[in-house]
Chain A
């Protein structure tokens, strides 16, 4: 299923982008952000989001690859 960024329209968000959206905004969200727009929305950096993704992967979270 194709998922695009609700802010900038960037297409085909990857599994990790979708995963971090769900982890930080809730599992039941309908709208997803690309990494750049998510970072801006949350007031953090893309690197901080990438670091979070790595931590979730190390914990074995199935939302990430």
Chain B
């Protein structure tokens, strides 16, 4: 067994032990397992949510697709930073309040009560589950690519390794363990990702960053602006990319984190830190990898091979021990993201699908068991997708998963801020948007040159608004429950009605 493989084995054992410890200290209630007891503070929240968002995609898919298509691809993640920050301060407080007032565990639970529709809750949960699978698949692909680049082991070996770690952390410990692990894993990721960049720029890149940029300006200037080396980035395409980024706040595994905060002030702290420390400072790292360092040091990569550009630079130019550290960081990034995605998937399956279908009260332990069953199902499906690997990793996220999640944004925001929204409008909008999105993946002509997410969202919004206005509004008691009572709660004028 090589040193690298040994180190990975030891790292895996350490993570499993954290999962075991997390299981021991857990209070064995559904809220503790699924929402970390609603006790996440500011520092943990930053690492927890940031590294839910920063995944193996940040290390592989994003620099890889930037390497191929050019700097304009940065519009997607940077717009997403703005989106997440604003979501936490504009929308987060209401979700946080409702979670405490009405005992919600799943982010989709409020959909049923707000719209007076169990069917809509079921439909929303199913749609989100379907699009979570490719996102989980992205992480599995990333780790598989990294394993292969570093150790020469087959791509599937990395995928299996990640699947085992995920089940240990999430299955055993639940959301609280995922949050703790994210602090550790996030720190490793920052140290390795940024550390590798600094090392390569200082010791390997002739002339440093400025020298490399000058050489690229002379040899391959297309990478620095639209339309990019692949000619992909037309104005329309970039507007669509911006929309995909600005609607990223709809990611269900991020929405659920607003419900875990200890206080509403934690949401504010996170938003500011994420905007500035994340978007401006940290995201300079993958930008530099994809726009300058990768293209300057490794040329000729095409298609899916570009996913591993960062790992290839690290393996070729840095000592073997550091390359292993970097791979651990990638696994850390993947684990931290998928952990929460799996938790959310498990919550959808147990809370929104199975228990509604069973039509009876379930105990906390039964809920936890159903959640665990859901985790296994999603891991298997994602693993199968990773095995097939139909496209470049970057596109799993920006072209499939994120546009899919976006389709629940109108009903989520409308449910919170528009009293006139009805279940018929929400069902029509969600169904129409998803249908257009799926058709657009196969029949590009229906998008008229725009990004599929833009067309799908436009159809979704139109149906949502028009059908809502033409159909019977919800009961006044429901409006009061989700508007004036929540307003009073946030202003501190109403006590907690139901929480745990």
Is B truly associated with A?
A: no
A: which residues have CB within 8 A of B? none
